[in-house]
Chain A
Amino acid sequence: GQQVMQIPQYQHVQEGEDFTTYCNSSTTLSNIQWYKQRPGGHPVFLIQLVKSGEVKKQKRLTFQFGEAKKNSSLHITATQTTDVGTYFCAGSDKIIFGKGTRLHILP
């Protein structure tokens, strides 16, 4: 069946450093969504990518959808302590979430 893999599973960065998480699907996706879950919280929608090769930015966050629509990435520039949490990608074809990348910020 369809699988969505995320790497890395954990990432520790110094505050101010950049961070990237990658999402790979075993099948082509019609679209992909990214969510953020703060510790003790619930997933919160960040963005949806639909088009092949699409790039979207939200302030310090840059999201990319691969040309083959099988992979995606989230890049955070100059991380801040408010970026702490787990970032999930979700392939919407079969509502499959990746296991997430947990971001820790070292002050």
Chain B
Amino acid sequence: DTGVSQNPRHKITKRGQNVTFRCDPISEHNRLYWYRQTLGQGPEFLTYFQNEAQLEKSRLLSDRFSAERPKGSFSTLEIQRTEQGDSAMYLCASSPWGADTQYFGPGTRLTVL
């Protein structure tokens, strides 16, 4: 399968714990996006990379959230000191050079108890 992959698919954690998610984009896609989606809502933009550079970060992203894409390939999203309000589906998407079309991964569902 050459689509976008995300791991883990599900994560249950206790409030206050740190969690890290991984996204592997489609090979050679230079742009990578992270979104958060809650029930009944559209994907909410979190951050965006072009290669290894983080070009945009939502104001909604508190300082407990950090994302990296060190080699311009896979990306990680870390949430520190999780809160119950962080419970959501975290979606990753990638785009090839010169196109706005986004290809989404299956998402990581986070539940904070």
Binding site for B on A (CB under 8 A): 31, 33, 35, 41-45, 48, 88, 90, 92, 94-100, 102
B106 part of interface (Cβ distance < 8 Å): yes
Chain B interface size, as a band, is 20 to 34
Which A residues lie within 8 Å of B33 (CB)? 95
Chain A residue with minimal CB distance to B48? A95
Which A residues lie within 8 Å of B35 (CB)? 97
- B50-105 contacts to A, CB under 8 A, are 56, 91, 93, 100-105
Cβ–Cβ contact A88 & B102, under 8 A: no
Cβ–Cβ contact B43 & A88, under 8 A: yes
Given contacts A44-B104, A94-B45, 12 further A-B contacts (CB under 8 A): A35-B102, A41-B106, A42-B104, A43-B93, A45-B101, A48-B100, A48-B101, A88-B42, A95-B33, A98-B42, A99-B40, A99-B42
CA distance A70 to B105 in the complex (A): 28
Cβ–Cβ contact A97 & B44, under 8 A: yes
Chain B residue with minimal CB distance to A10? B40
Which B residues lie within 8 Å of A48 (CB)? 100-101
Which A residues lie within 8 Å of B43 (CB)? 43, 88, 97
The 8 closest A-B pairs by CB, nearest first: A97-B42, A42-B104, A92-B100, A95-B45, A97-B43, A99-B42, A43-B104, A100-B42
